[in-house]
Amino acid sequence: MIMAGGAGTRLWPMSRRRQPKQLIPFIDGQCLLEVAANRLDGVVPASRRLICTGEAFREPILEQLPAFTDDQLLGEPEGRDTVNAIGLTAAVLHQRDPDAIFAVLTADHLIEPQDRFRKALQTGFKLVEQDPARLVTFGITPTYAATGYGYVELGEEVDGFDGARQTVQFVEKPDESTAEGYLQAGNFLWNSGMFVFSAAGFMNALESYLPEAAEGLSIIAQAWGGPDRQSTLEKIYPTLPKISVDYAIMEPGSRDEQRPVCTVPMDIQWLDVGSWTSYGETLAPDSNGCRSNVQSVNVDSHRVLAVSEDPDHVIATVGCQDLVIIHTDRVTMVCPSSEAQRVKDLATSVDESLR
């Protein structure tokens, strides 16, 4: 299941309600959701791929990804954070097949090389096939002391599984000094936000740690194949407690001796395309560090990111330093690179028609 429900407000003005960030075709003409689906080739058949997204995105996703059928999309009436997106998938799959095992992937990451990703994903499936109670996550080797990512602490090796480790603890977005300590320690990885669960194992964990969500999702799943599916979903889903899967399941699971939590390290290049500065890393810089997806002219400018929806639009700068310039048919947005995270504040401040 690919989670694709994020609004992507830090990538405004290209990311809008009718075109969220996962549908912007800015990765060599592909959108992030297409890239995420294609990397499953050779691991999961196309017919067994699901997307959990906002119901409002159903039509544009089906238009842009015609390989997916209507019943492969799980439409949330509103976002209730990751534990419910995953829980909805687990509950529905458990109704169809009590022995179902599923991976949870993201729609906003770029991952290379593909063969290492596939190998790690296959290891995750094998871990849960051996023990359906296992909760498996994937860890990325940190390249700097990030404070915007969660971390996992690695424990002992899991016998019989290449590289897999027991998980000591999960830590959500530490402060800078703590993150520096994790980087120096060498046994902490970034939590990638990707997982493998059995449907039964996840629902059992949910019943233990967040019973109100488990109860509501079970009612939704029971109605899934009948005429009351949509009305039940719309009635119950918005009432579920809004919390991330890391806080609700993975953190308490790592402290529970009865529930094995494992981490599979991924030896990959991993980029979370969550802001304009991170997107800029997908573009080759010129000799002055300027990057652009269209023709740009820069005179005595350094480290300028220039992005346009219009391939014929030229962006020109003189004497600029450390800027982000984003051009669409209705909005041109300019900010210092250091303020790129605050674009989400700008997105909520503009007129409703521009969101």
Segment 122-132, tens digit of pLDDT: 999 999 999 99
Instruction: Report pLDDT for 50.
Output: 97
Find the mean pLDDT for residues 194-207. Answer: 98
Find the mean pLDDT for residues 243-269. Answer: 92
> For all residues of the chain together, what is the average pLDDT?
94
Instruction: Report pLDDT for 258.
Output: 84
**CA 259/CA 22 separation, integer angstroms:** 33
Q: Give the pairing of strands 165-171 and 261-266.
A: antiparallel
Find the mean pLDDT for residues 240-249. Answer: 95
Find the mean pLDDT for residues 173-188. Answer: 93
Same domain, 181 and 281: no
**Please, are residues 102 and 1 in contact by the beta-carbon 8 Å criterion?**
yes
**Comparison of pLDDT for 43 and 221, the residue scoring more:** 221
Same domain, 309 and 267: no
Buried b vs exposed e over 300-314: b needs ≥16 C-beta within 10 Å? ebbbbbbbbbeeeee
The pLDDT-based confidence of 353 (bands split at 50, 70, 90) is confident
**CA 214/CA 87 separation, integer angstroms:** 8
Find the mean pLDDT for residues 325-330. Answer: 95
Find the mean pLDDT for residues 36-46. Answer: 91
Tokens for 10, please give them.
């830090």
Instruction: Report pLDDT for 173.
Output: 85
**Please, are residues 23 and 17 in contact by the beta-carbon 8 Å criterion?**
no
Point out the domain boundary residue: 247, 272, 297: 272
Same domain, 127 and 226: yes
CA distances from 302 to 228, 279, 322 (A): 58, 17, 6
**Please, are residues 71 and 96 in contact by the beta-carbon 8 Å criterion?**
no
Q: Could you tell me the residue range of the domain that residue 190 belongs to? A: 2-272
Same domain, 189 and 151: yes
pLDDT in tens, 121-158: 999 999 999 999 999 999 999 999 988 888 999 999 99
Total domains, the chain: 2
Same domain, 253 and 285: no
Point out the domain boundary residue: 249, 272, 295: 272
**CA 142/CA 313 separation, integer angstroms:** 37
CATH assignment of the domain containing 127: 3.90.550.10
pTM of the predicted model as reported, rounded to 2 decimal places = 0.91
Instruction: Report pLDDT for 223.
Output: 96
Q: What is the residue whose two structure tokens read 């802001």?
A: 275
Instruction: Report pLDDT for 351.
Output: 83
List all residues 6 or more positions away from 345 whose beta carbon is below 8 Å from its beta carbon.
none
Find the mean pLDDT for residues 239-263. Answer: 93
The pLDDT-based confidence of 20 (bands split at 50, 70, 90) is confident
Point out the domain boundary residue: 272, 287, 321: 272
How many angstroms separate the first and last alpha carbons of the chain?
A: 27
